[in-house]
Amino acid sequence: MSVATPKADPLGKAIGAAFDVEAVRAEFPGLHQEVHGRPLVYLDNAATTQKPRAVIRAVERFYLRDTSNIHRGVHALAERATALYEGARRTVARFIGSPSPDQVVFTRGTTESINLAARSFVRPRLAPGDEVVVTWMEHHANIVPWQIVCGEAKAAVRPVAIDDRGALDLSALEEALDRGGERVRMVALGHVSNALGTVNPVREVVAMAHARGVPVLVDGAQAVPHMPVDVTELGCDFYAFSSHKAFGPGGVGVLWGRAEHLAGMPPMLGGGDMIRSVSFEGTTFADPPSRFEAGTPNIEGAAGFAAALDFLSGLDREAVAVHEEALLAHASEELARIPGVRLVGTAPERAAIVSFTVEGIHPHDVGTILDGRGVAIRAGHHCAQPVMQRFGLPATARASFALYNTHGEVEALAAAVRHAQEVFGV
């Protein structure tokens, strides 16, 4: 399977209906190295992505030229750092279709974003007997925060079933909403499953929940790198995602929220830069988003994140999607034809993630053997233990693709899996 290569600009912008993967790969220096004496085949993108030169330059430029704190100084460096940080907020807002940059809260990542929504939005509304509805395919970051606040309030987390393909059972969701009635305080679900690649029908879920007066939080960590996201079109109440999975630096994430929700939420952390006034008689808090950004933030990370989103915006996202769909189809076909390999998660709508097992070999051993061939995958429960329980597995091997991966790397993956079988004699 091959994809035609168009003429491209120096940043690897795809032109027309095809995608110049080699031009894009040239922008990612981390891809051009050897591991154990073999060319790196990086297929662990659902865990974190490699970084383009534009991101590396943005972070370096901050350290070389603009290092200072934000919002507090009147000198030139402080003003430049503030402009970078608030400019990054505007870039994020444009990228996800937010009506206002003030609805973009910077956090340390998706996990902190979900904790913020759980602690500051849902916890004050929880009473004994209330419920938060999630799905069986959630990452732990979209389960544990709800368990904590529900435990405090003597409320409950209610999981909704997924079928044998790894697709959400919408009838089960509707039943859970109707059964819970006014006790349901939130529906929280992933846009894309990190363990299975399932793309959930977010608009349909939002419509179903809103018809019953229930807000919806979407974990978009795996969606933002793979597809256009417009929070206004989705209609959700909160959308959480991370920089490091979208080609940006680590330690930066976003909680987008409806303005009316953010305005009514108390801060999760107290400290500097999130206040309007402080005295020993009491403190008044700043308006969102500053209210939720106590202390010195990851300024350089925000600048790098903005550079990553600008890089993505410079690509033909439709052509990227076609390329990744082809990679997914190719990998699924190559792995499925290997005797003893079982694909886990075959929902009709999937992002470029393939989870699999190899009969007679533990996934950790599969990952180790593949690493020896220069092929980087993830092996384990992928912080999604309920998914493993649903399929009766301790773990899976997971190959996750990004826009810079190639069909040659798919073939290297399949060859490495066959090599693992030879090593273990299965």
| Residue 376 near residue 3, CB atoms below 8 Å | no
Three-state DSSP at 345 gives coil
Q: Count of domains in the chain? A: 2
The pLDDT assigned to 370 comes to: 98
Q: How far apart are CA 304 and CA 388, in angstroms?
A: 34
Distances 7 to 26, 338, 401 between C-alpha atoms, Å: 14, 36, 23
The residues assigned a catalytic role are: 383
241 in the same domain as 155: yes
309 with 327, same domain: the answer is no
What pLDDT sits at residue 134? 98
Whose structure tokens read 């004496």?
Answer: 37
119 shares a domain with 220: yes
Average pLDDT, the chain: 95
Q: How far, in Å, CA of 2 to CA of 173, rounded?
A: 40
Last residue of a domain, one of 258, 289, 313: 313
Beta-bridge partner residues of 199 = 192
301 and 328 both lie in a single domain: no
Q: What is the pLDDT of residue 254?
A: 98
What is the percent of the chain where pLDDT is above 70?
Answer: 96
pLDDT band at 15 (very low <50, low <70, confident <90, very high): very low
Same domain, 309 and 328: no
My answer on whether 183 and 326 are in the same domain is no
pLDDT for residue 72: 81
For residue 63, give its domain range: 56-313
Whether 83 is covered by a domain: the verdict is yes
> What span, in angstroms and rounded, lies between the C-alpha atoms of 238 and 258?
7
Tell whether the model's pLDDT for residue 381 goes beyond 90: yes
Q: What is the pLDDT of residues 178-209, one digit of tens each?
A: 999 999 999 999 999 999 999 999 999 999 99
Residue 9 has pLDDT above 50, yes or no: no
Confidence of residue 19 (pLDDT cuts 50, 70, 90): confident
Predicted TM-score (pTM) of this structure: 0.95
Model confidence band, residue 16 (pLDDT cutoffs 50, 70, 90): very low
Confidence of residue 5 (pLDDT cuts 50, 70, 90): very low
140 and 283 belong to one structural domain: yes
Is 246 inside any structural domain?
yes
Please say whether the beta carbons of 266 and 121 come within 8 A: no
Give the CATH number, domain containing residue 98: 3.40.640.10
Asked whether residue 68 carries a pLDDT value surpassing 50, the answer given is yes
**Do 285 and 329 fall into the same domain?**
no
Exposure b/e, 332-349, CB count within 10 A at least 16 = b: bebbeebeebebbbbbee
